[in-house]
Amino acid sequence: MVEFFKTIDGRITEINEFSEGCWVNMVHPSSDELAQIAKAAEVEEEFVRAALDPEESSRVDTEDEQLLMIVDIPMVEKSSVEDGGQLFSTIPMGIVVAKSAVITVCLEDSIILRSIAEGAVKGVHTALRTRFVFQILLRIAGRFLKNLRMIERDFTRIEKRLYDSLKNEELIQLLGLSKSLVYFSSSLKGNEVTMEKVLRGRVLKLYEDDRDILEDALIEVRQAIEMANIYSNIMAGTMDAYASVVSNNLNIIMKVLTILTIIMTIPNIVFGFFGMNIGEGNIPGDWVWWMPLAITVIGCFFAWYMLKKKNLD
């Protein structure tokens, strides 16, 4: 899918074809679309194609008057309405700054770019290429922060459910959130390095107002990195604590079962003894039917008393 947008009369508007000063949004484009846009914007096709590799890392590349910036953006990998749990991941997005246009390329449609295309972001001018790119970076950083808050909210909800019942389902959800935080932390660090490289002004000409936008984006990225690290530490500590609780509960259950086994062994011994065949089948006291029962009760009580005295019950 290929879309063309341009700021007209202060509002971002969708247009039908490529024109100077426009923004080209490409979502999972075909080879023909890549070649067409590369030719129209006069950029290397490899620049436009680079972000289609899901394993591509965040980086900046320049050639002639072309700039390729690849940054990772957050995506919802799995969302469950029933329990409120969500899993997040990141995918690369390419931003190509050509002589006359800005091109964004991604494997999936992102809410970040969709909000810009729908006019939800004020002050967007596609002709001001540097500022427009930095506004995209600022939106990406803001989306990371928002998703981190969603992870924290899901974690709190799952933690409350764990107080009531320790189930594998909740622990698996915590593991999924922990995995999302690892993805976020890795991607944010890569984005931070990329933005710092751009901030030096060696790969893209910076203007004073544009620098402020990039600095704001960099501050939010660093804040997101700190939040991801804090949430990861809290989640790791929580999972360790619950693992200890599960282990302790298992030890208590095994202790109770062992005590019951010891006590129940006494009746087996007594009734087994009185059930033996000796001589003609008569043993002392066989006429006293309550004797085995009395010995059993006394033996069980004595065993319970000794266990209680040693604080083993």
State how far the Cα of 181 lies from the Cα of 296, in Å rounded to an integer.
60
State how far the Cα of 110 lies from the Cα of 130, in Å rounded to an integer.
21
**DSSP-H helix ranges across the chain:** 31-41, 45-49, 111-117, 129-164, 168-199, 208-274, 290-309
How would you classify residue 51: left for phi > 0, otherwise alpha for psi between -120 and 50, otherwise beta?
alpha
For residue 132, pLDDT over 50 is answered with: yes
Per the structure block, which two tokens stand in for 59?
């980086």
- pLDDT bracket for residue 284 (50, 70, 90): low
- pLDDT bracket for residue 18 (50, 70, 90): confident
For residue 278, pLDDT over 70 is answered with: no
Neighbours of 129 (CB within 10 A): 22
Neighbours of 206 (CB within 10 A): 17
* Cβ contact 109:43 at 8 Å: no
Tokens 């609780």 sit at which residue? 245
The pairs formed by 197-203 with CB atoms below 8 angstroms and a separation of 24 or more are 197/60, 198/60, 198/69, 203/60, 203/62, 203/67
State how far the Cα of 114 lies from the Cα of 116, in Å rounded to an integer.
5
The pLDDT value recorded for residue 281 is 53
In sequence order, the 6+-apart residues with CB closer than 8 A to the CB of 223 are 145
Enclosing H/E stretch for 3: strand 2-8
The pLDDT value recorded for residue 152 is 86
Picking from 28, 2, 25, the residue whose alpha carbon sits closest to that of residue 107 is: 28
Question: What are 75-128's pLDDT values in tens digits?
Answer: 887 655 445 567 888 888 988 888 888 888 888 888 888 888 887 778 888 888
- pLDDT bracket for residue 5 (50, 70, 90): confident
| Mean pLDDT of the chain, nearest integer | 80
**Integer Rg of the chain from CA:** 34
State how far the Cα of 296 lies from the Cα of 298, in Å rounded to an integer.
5
Q: What is the DSSP letter of 100?
A: S
State how far the Cα of 99 lies from the Cα of 129, in Å rounded to an integer.
9
